[in-house]
Amino acid sequence: MSEFAMLLTSILTITLRAGTSLTYATLGEIYTERTGILNLGVEGMMLTSAVSAFAISYYTGNPWLGVLVAMLAGGILATIHAFLTVTMRANQVVSGLSITLFGTGLSSFLGERLGPESNGGNLVGLIGPRFSPVVIPWLSDIPVLGALFRQDVMTYILYLVIPIAALYLYKTRNGLNLRAVGESPQTADAMGISVTRTRYIYTILGGVMIGLGGAHLSLSYAPGWSENITGGRGWIVIPLVIFAMWNPWRAVLGAVLFGGINAVQFRLQADGTRIPAAYLNMAPYIITIVVLVVMTWWETLSHRTGAPAALGKAYMREDK
Amino acid sequence: MRVLLEKRRSVSRKAIVLVPVASFLVSLILGGILLAISGANPFTTYAAMITGAVGSGYGITEVLVKAVPLMLTGLGVGLAFQMRFWNIGAEGQLTMGGVAAAGVALFWSQSLPPWTILPLAILMGCVAGALWAFIPAFLKAILKVDETLTTLMMNYIAILYSEHLYYIAWRAEGYNSGTARFPEFAWLPQFAGRANIALFFALIIAVVLWFVFKYTRWGFELKIIGENETAARYLGINIARNIMVALIVSGAISGLAGASEVLGLSHRLQQGLSVGYGYTAIIIAWMSQLNPLAIPFVATLMAILLVGGDQIQMKMRLPASVGLVLQGMLLLPMLAGSIFNEYDIKLQKRSSSEAEQSPEEVQA
């Protein structure tokens, strides 16, 4: 293999590793937003699920139990968000923010409290079970694209989840209903679809997927627990959904873009660049702003938007 | 029996006071449950937090020290929230304020008369915070770019930049991190313990903002934009200009918080400038229902939780983040309760005539 092909392979490998948690969370958020509920609690949900996943797999020795608990943690926080925004009609932005603030505090509390006595109750710095890359024979020998088959099992599952998520959204009755709720709750209501129930279901499902993203961070990407392990990934998910134009297929693009930035950063640092590390680390955040500006500008120019029409609005039968 | 929601004409006065108080109690109960599950006695923990925070002169001055940046950032984000501009970038605005003030104190002292340094450092702190808030405000006003995300991304950029400065670019020789100490004429005067006069700046700004919202046309315009943007447009209010001006003020107030942190407390730029005050500010502004006069009180309450958290870490070896969890929990019952502000909730027995058609169904 040429040197260039090897470089590409290594960048793609890191891209996929870094992009997995982002893609899970982006898919989850797409489903939630498609029903008209904006969930800004992603960061807090990813943190809480990452710490619970690590704690459970550390004590049981079984990372799958960790994944399960992470899904549960994401689902519970999403249920709170659904209750506040759907049932209590609270402002969706503020509710999401408070879920993030709560989740951030809770995760650092749990991280300092759930650890073993020998480590002062701390989970930081411990080594637990993890999902290691599983190299698939033959396929992994393909030049460059072989990187697709040198991933951990959660990434392989993601390869299945993406098409399922897209087909469910576009080709099934349930998918049609949930899109209807996000576009025009009044019409959906008149058609006999329960707006409340739909929004609850997919907000919680979204939380479960976000939980999977958190689990991947502490069980494979990091692996381990450290405070604020997400480094803002939960926030980057929100513009990624816009970038994907609420389409599950395109969720991959954004995650690859941001995973790719991570990979390039990683390579540059490994090669001993003269650019200060801080400036390299700013790249994802600056690019997020640029992506937002470009997407917003493009939407204004082309007079089209991918956003569900009822996104961010509480629904009441009386107000029309 | 069915539950009916009726939109109120005006916000309920009783609910405005009762909901935050009830939310505080509910979050204490939930926090107590969490403490109990994690194997700590909630009653002794809470008692230790309270005595740690307000049971000694040291505790009280520390509460004041922590309350200042919380008041300022709370006032800053509260101003933006009035227009429903979701400025969650107070953390970055504070950080840049601290960076700019430190820059003035470190590098302008040689060439300018000493008495000008402190006012200039404060001023440049405000300017830097204002600039940091202006970028997202400009993007929102001109291009309609969502401000929640841009303000937040600006936080990460500011924090990385400040780290670069105190770890590498501005690091004092012989230290692993942190700049050199500022000359003493660049320090904010302290009046009790570490509590410094920035407290009075915060209180004055609170009163000024209250006056602005109560009596001035500008305050009225901001409120209208927040309540009903379409109406604001019909009234001929220039929304883009208001967003930019308000965010310059909002960022400047948070920048002042950063300046007062470095000039009044650390006397150098070092780790610990950005500790999440800008996020707690969101909780404070919302708990205060955006009332500038309520913000100093709520900020002090939050400072008690933070200092109390530090105290139980030392005394009971419990994580200081208990304070953060309690703060994070505050908004959840508060949001659930906000429905009482805007809606009348009525329980109605289904009478025979209504059994067929309930009022809601008639309208639907």
For chain A, percent of residues with pLDDT exceeding 70: 98
- Which of B151, B156, B289 is best to mutate for the A interface (most A CBs within 10 A)? B156
Q: What is the pLDDT of residues B250-279, one digit of tens each?
A: 999 999 999 999 999 999 999 989 888 999
Q: What is the pLDDT of residue A69?
A: 98
The first and second tokens of residue B160, run together, are 């990385």
**What is the band of B64 on the pLDDT scale with cuts at 50, 70, 90?**
very high
pLDDT average, residue stretch A240-260: 88
Q: What is the pLDDT of residue B350?
A: 57
- How much is the pTM? 0.89
The whole-angstrom distance between B114's CA and the closest CA on chain A is: 33
For chain B, percent of residues with pLDDT exceeding 90: 64
**What is the band of B127 on the pLDDT scale with cuts at 50, 70, 90?**
very high
Q: How many CA atoms lie within 13 A of A235 on its CB side?
A: 29
Residues 128-167 of A with CB under 8 A from B: none
What's the mean pLDDT when you consider all of chain A?
A: 90
- pLDDT exceeds cutoff 50 at B354: no
The first and second tokens of residue B130, run together, are 């204002």
**Residue-by-residue DSSP string for chain A:** --HHHHHHHHHHHHHHHHHHHHHHHHHHHHHHHHTT---TTHHHHHHHHHHHHHHHHHHHS-HHHHHHHHHHHHHHHHHHHHIIIIIS---HHHHHHHHHHHHHHHHHHHHHHSS-GGGTT--TT---------PPTTGGGSTTGGGGGSS-HHHHHHHHHHHHHHHHHHHSHHHHHHHHHHH-HHHHHHTT--HHHHHHHHHHHHHHHHHHHHHHIIIIIS-S--TTTTTTHHHHHHHHHHHTTT-HHHHHHHHHHHHHHHHHHHHHHHTT-SS-HHHHHHHHHHHHHHHHHHHHHHHHHHT---S-TTTT----SS--
The ipTM (two decimal places) reads 0.86
Give the residue from chain B lying closest to A101, CA to CA.
Answer: B328
For chain B, percent of residues with pLDDT exceeding 70: 93
Residue of B149, B319, B327 lying closest to A292 (CB–CB): B149
Among A18-32, B3-17, B305-319, the range with the most confident prediction by mean pLDDT is: A18-32
Q: What is the pLDDT of residue B169?
A: 92
Residues 232-291 of B with CB under 8 A from A: 279-280, 282-283, 286
- pLDDT exceeds cutoff 90 at B6: no
Compute the residue count for chain B.
364
- pLDDT exceeds cutoff 90 at B320: no
* Helix (H), strand (E), coil (C) string for B239-294: HHHHHHHHHHHHHHHHHHHHHHHHHHHHCCCCCCCCCCHHHHHHHHHHHCCCCCCC
pLDDT average, residue stretch B301-319: 87
**What is the band of A231 on the pLDDT scale with cuts at 50, 70, 90?**
confident
pLDDT average, residue stretch B74-88: 95
pLDDT average, residue stretch A23-38: 96
Residue of B148, B334, B364 lying closest to A317 (CB–CB): B364
